Structure 1
Amino acid sequence: LPSHPAGEVLTSNDARWSFARRRPAGVVSVIAPFNFPLILSIRSVAPALALGNTVLLKPDPRTAVCGGVALMRVFEEAGLPAGALSLLPGGAETGAAVVEAPEVRVISFTGSTAAGRRVGEAAARHLKRAHLELGGNNALIVLPGADVAKAASAGAFGSFMHQGQICMTTGRHLVHESLYDAYVAALSEKAAQLPVGDPASGTVALGPIIDESQLKRIHAIVEDALQAGARLTAGGTHDGLFYQPTVLSELSQENPAFAEEIFGPVAPVIKFSTLDEAVELVNANEYGLSVGILGDVGTAMDLADRVHSGKVHINEQTVMDEANAPFGGVGASGTGSRFGGATANIEAFTEVQWLTMRPQIAPYPF
């Protein structure tokens, strides 16, 4: 980004040079979440600095060291000038302060949709730009004819990776009725075999949930789902903060486990009979971050044109991120692709200035 073209030469009706150039926005506040504290901080901190801004970083208070102090030390060792990057750990009051401070011009927020709405409202009152990357209840569509074993492997990774504590986690498995029973059985078998425990103790697939409050929320949604008629085919239990990979089947669209973002290792599976029904199930949810489609590529391409989602991955699950790819969602998942790649980052962290130049002072009729 420091060496990327910072504007363009425009045509003009007058005898002058005309430019549209990108200028640093000023001070950028980065508010990062707990779940991937290093990458979800650096993906805003690095481009904002590279484009000439100063940055105020507020990590989640639960991950203030790995999401804040560690980054500060790296940049200090690299020789970043003092004051270019500042760290301000804290809770909700601190978050409000780094949004409302008059010195701040741009806010880059990653977190829950509820918190993002408050950030967006506060930023709007102060006429500031807020780039909001929020939650997701992402759908994985398994088309008729798909390889069930490979699909279940993709689905297990999408739902259980990092204990489901990812905005891109597969929160809804939409499986064609011809494969439904086989898919539920295969996914449940995988869930039952995945080792859960302290990652420091050996090779495990799932570690702990972030804290007791989040664990209680996950378990409450699972219990509510069962009360609403879902069937438990794997998991549903926990030992301390270690929650077992959980599979729920026989859900309705209104079931809380299908309708809400769980942010835990829970895989709700629902069947569909037609492609139109699959599209309706995807689009009926307020979130629109990531969709995976497994099976026939031609059919998947048609579906990709019809689903409301910031990202679509054909024959891959929903958890996907690359530094040079635009990242973001629609609807309750945020305000668009504001991270990744030169175009998105430059738009996020700079202001456009129109600049004209003449060789002499222009003549005027007054």
Structure 2
Amino acid sequence: MKALVCKHHGEPESLSFEDWPAPTPRDGEVLVALHAAGLNYPDILQVAGTYQIGSAIPCVFGAEGAGEVIACGAGVEQFRPGDRVLVLAMGCWAEQVCVPAAALVKLAEGIDMVSAAAFPVAYNTAWHALLQRGDLRAGETLLVHGASGGVGLAAVQIGKYLGARVIATGSCDDKLERVRRLGADQVINCRTRALREALHELTDGAGVDVVFDPVGGAQVDATLKSLAPFGRLLVIGFTSGQIAQLPSNLLLLREAVAIGVNIGQWTRRNPAASRQNLVDIQARIAAGQLVPFVARTFDLADGAAALRSILNREVVGKYVLLTELGKLHADRCLREKSFAHRGRGA
């Protein structure tokens, strides 16, 4: 089979698209023919070798995907060949992946493979952060940094679903306008406006109740000074490349809390709860209450170019890689939709 392989750490262009041994399911494992795989900013750190959890190389990265079950190992009873599934395990930048059955979730009817590959990591992170760690409630004000990225945009949508007022930040007016159209109530361009003053104006000095921060870096001081009493700062990541030093006096003054969110570690400790999150998120997607935004699809062979585009901050939402099987399926779906449209027009 073909895969996007990391043979040595480096820039995205160091990845190679080549033959890779096809896996065989052992006891308790499931073999999945992948249609699509989602891309996330931590993927870039893994390829570079700077992620906080290392991996032995050569290897195939990619922590989320969607496809069809083609074989099951002994002892697997909850899946059968032909089942459409979400995959939450490393190795999804390939045409096939073999994973423990516990790393799969059945894909709900009505959700296509491209959308399915786009939401597991970002939406599970935002769902866990806002509901289970940040306790975001209807009527509260949520500040989302880095709102045009995959996880930031997921937080915007989930915040609105939960009934919060959502203020989104970024550094590009065009991207922020897209984020506004996708659900944010107000947006702040941090390149052209001082964050603290903008938040003071937008909240009439009351501050924000919850901050969702996958960026870190220089804005943390202004962010903490903009927290409402008993506010919650959710530390998601550091896409800025800077790990911020939190001034604890600001937490004390506001009786606020800083909360770390590590969806990978939490999922490993609570696999059943993580799978239930994905079931709950799928129900909202199927109902149209959440809409994963896929900016573009790439061929699996062009994964390095997609990662470079993410690194250059060119994307709003998510990029998804398609295998040959995924492209065939997507083309068939487009043809079926076209025929259905013509039928209605006739």
- TM-score normalised over the length of structure 1: 0.26
- TM-score normalised over the length of structure 2: 0.27
